[in-house]
Structure 1
Amino acid sequence: MEQDWTVRRVPAADGADIVLHSIGIGPGIVVVHGGGVTIETYRRLAIRLADRFTVHLYNRRGRADAAARAEPYDGEQDIDDLAALLAHTGARDVIGHSGGGFIALRAAARRLPISRLALYDPAVQVDGLTPTAWLPGAREAARAGDIARAMALTSAGINTHSAASRLPLGLQVAICRLFLRTPIGRAMGELLPTTLDESALIHRHDGPPEQWAGVDAAVLLACGADGPPYYPPTNEALARVMPHARTLLVPRAGHDALNRAPRHLVDALAAFFAAPVTSEPAGS
């Protein structure tokens, strides 16, 4: 049976409204989306989990129906908003994707009441495993208003496994100019300065994996077999220090697999969230 979305306004710690989009039946899962996108790319995932779970989507600050983001950006508002949503919904399970995975992991390290945390391609910098040399040039181009060049540098810097990243930069910029004419390209272009700020924050938190050893939630560290090559070693390093973590390499999956929501990934997430946990979440 087709289900309907419900939309509610949840008060944030600073008095702003967080607009919560929910669907499904069963235990609650809060999704923390990645950078450069809005919740629209996660609706397929939510719908495919909705027969077993109540899935909560929300736009992080500075996007779509969300309130403005505090500047300079330090990620604290993101953690506060997630705390408010966990308190409002009673959910204790979280999915974090890419930059949203970094936010969700920081929240778990702060002992927010999270029982199970599924991270897909979490943008967590561990011992310099993730490339960073592209970021200054991309930020300089964005400040100059050359979004196509900034996008090309960002894409090549992040997607090191992609054949497109080895094309001449001028050709990559031309491709990005065409992409910026599409609806999703325009949306990503508008959000690119925000994405670059988040990338800079993530890179500033580079360090040994032991800085995350205090995360006591059950953690699934997933990444795609067809995605960037730095996610598997990052996940393995994190899994070695977290007491209740394991890794999952998802076949036939790239960085956008969580948005595409193939059945084998959805079923793996559902199995993880249905499994019992051995300890109470922090803060419960």
Structure 2
Amino acid sequence: MERVTTFDGATIALHSTGTGPGIVVVHGGGVTIDVYRRFAAALADRFTVHLYNRRGRADACARVLPYTFEQEVDDLSAVLAHTGAVNVVGHSGGGFIALSAALRLPIERLALYDAAISIDGSFPAAWLPAARAAAGAGDLPRAMALTAGGINTHQATSRLPLPVQVAMCRLFLRTPIGRMMGDLLPMTLDESALIAAADGSADRWAGVTASVLLACGAKGPRYYVAADDALAAALPHARALEIPGCGHDGINRAPAHLVEVFADFFAIPAPRPSGEPVL
């Protein structure tokens, strides 16, 4: 494990595996890098995969308050400078950070999976005030139920009566993954609020010059499909792709057909400065 110095003098613990061109993974909001280790291992025979916990999680330093995504972009900048990597993967809320970073950092190839980017109201946010109120009142099962139901609009459980969803979340919070997501839920809510506040036209991202793969799980929420299609039309070098049989956690489960999509994308050589990227 290496240590990376950040813009404000803090340190980032860098967990790297594999050999070959570097890929930096920016993880989602409610988890740590542990759930991405299978994905990293699956790419390690062809790439050096760099994982790091974002601030406030596991071995990461504390967040700087008031929290903004600019801190996250600055941290990613430090990791890219340390590793020399020009390839980035962003998942969920990490996808918003990675795409924001691509507006100003030297990222050449960017693969997003279920990136939480709101295009013209595509990201559901009506659940946020009630979830934040429940979390503030210390009612974690209710806050988690409102969050899960608000985000996972495609699932039948989101249409169950709220008391039933709360009871299910109370049981989920007793599991290791549930305890982790419960502990991180306040940060998830903060990030969701920032994503919703950044809603706008896809054209705001048109300055991204990297080659971009906008991937989403075919079994996940459909709002990711709508956002990806809009972004693919606005970004100069992007394409959208649905990956069959995968949900929002598809990148964590890392089935072979998903891994190969990412491997093939990153295997394409970086374009010459005067040429057009090959997608």
Partner of 1:3 in structure 2? none
> In the alignment, is the contact (CA less than 8 A) between 1:19 and 1:66 conserved in 2?
yes
Q: Which residue of 1 aligns with 2:277?
A: none
Query: Which whole-Å CA distance do the structure 2 matches of 1:173 and 1:72 have between them?
Result: 30
**Of residues 176, 184, 206 in structure 2, which corresponds to 1:183?**
176
Aligned partner of 2:84: which letter?
A: G
The corresponding residue for 1:44 is: 38
Counterpart CA distance in 2 for 1:125 and 1:72 is 22
- In the TM superposition, 1:144-163 aligns within 5 A as 144-163=137-156
Q: Tell me, which stretches of 5 or more residues in structure 2 are unaligned?
A: 275-279
Residues 12 and 84 in structure 1, CA contact (< 8 A), matched pair in contact too: yes
Matched, 1:251 2:244: yes
Describe how 1:42-81 pairs up with structure 2 within 5 A: 42-81=36-75
Percent of aligned positions that are identical: 68
Q: Is it true that 1:137 corresponds to 2:99 in the alignment?
A: no
> Which amino acid counterpart does residue 206 of structure 1 have in structure 2?
D
Q: Give CA-to-partner distance per residue, 1:105-143, whole Å, 9 cap, x none.
A: 00001x201000000000001000121100010000001
SS of aligned partner of 2:60: coil
Secondary structure of the equivalent of 1:57? strand
1:101 pairs with one of 95, 110, 119: 95
User: Structure 1 pair 279/98, CA: closer, same or farther in 2 (3 Å)?
Assistant: farther
Decide whether aligned partners of structure 1 residues 200 and 280 sit closer, same or farther in structure 2, where only a CA change above 3 A counts: farther
The aligned amino acid for 1:167 is L
Task: Read off the aligned partner of 2:213 and give its amino acid letter.
Answer: L
- Give the aligned CA root-mean-square deviation in angstroms: 1.0
Deviations 1:137-191 (A, max 9, x none): 0000001111100000000000000011011100100000011011110110000
Partner of 2:17: 23
Unaligned runs of 5+ in 1: 1-6
Matched AA of 2:74: D
State the AA in 2 paired with 1:257: G
1:277 CA drift (Å): 3.3
CA distance in structure 2 between the partners assigned to 1:215 and 1:93 by the alignment: 14
TM-score (norm 2): 0.97
Query: Residues of 2 paired with 1:189 and 1:108: CA distance?
Result: 30
2:233 is the counterpart of 1:240:
yes
Match of 1:114 among 98, 107, 116: 107
The one-letter amino acid paired with 1:142 is A
**Any idea what SS the aligned residue of 1:43 has?**
helix
TM-score by length of 1: 0.95
Q: Distance in 2 between matches of 1:269 and 1:100?
A: 16
* Partner AA of 1:30 in structure 2: V
Do the aligned partners of 1:35 and 1:100 also contact (CA within 8 Å) in 2? yes
Distance 1:66 1:273 in 2: 27
CA distance in 2, matches of 1:48, 1:84: 25
Aligned length: 274
Task: Provide the residue aligned with 1:264 in structure 2.
Answer: 257
Structure 1 residue ranges, 4+ long, deviating more than 6 angstroms after superposition = none
Partner of 2:192: 199
SS of residue matched to 1:94: strand
How far 1:37 sits from its partner (Å)?
0.1
Please give the alpha-carbon distance, in whole angstroms, between the structure 2 residues aligned to 1:203 and 1:114.
25
Cα distance, 1:276 vs structure 2? 2.6
Question: Counterparts in 2 of 1:163-182, with a 5 A limit?
Answer: 163-182=156-175
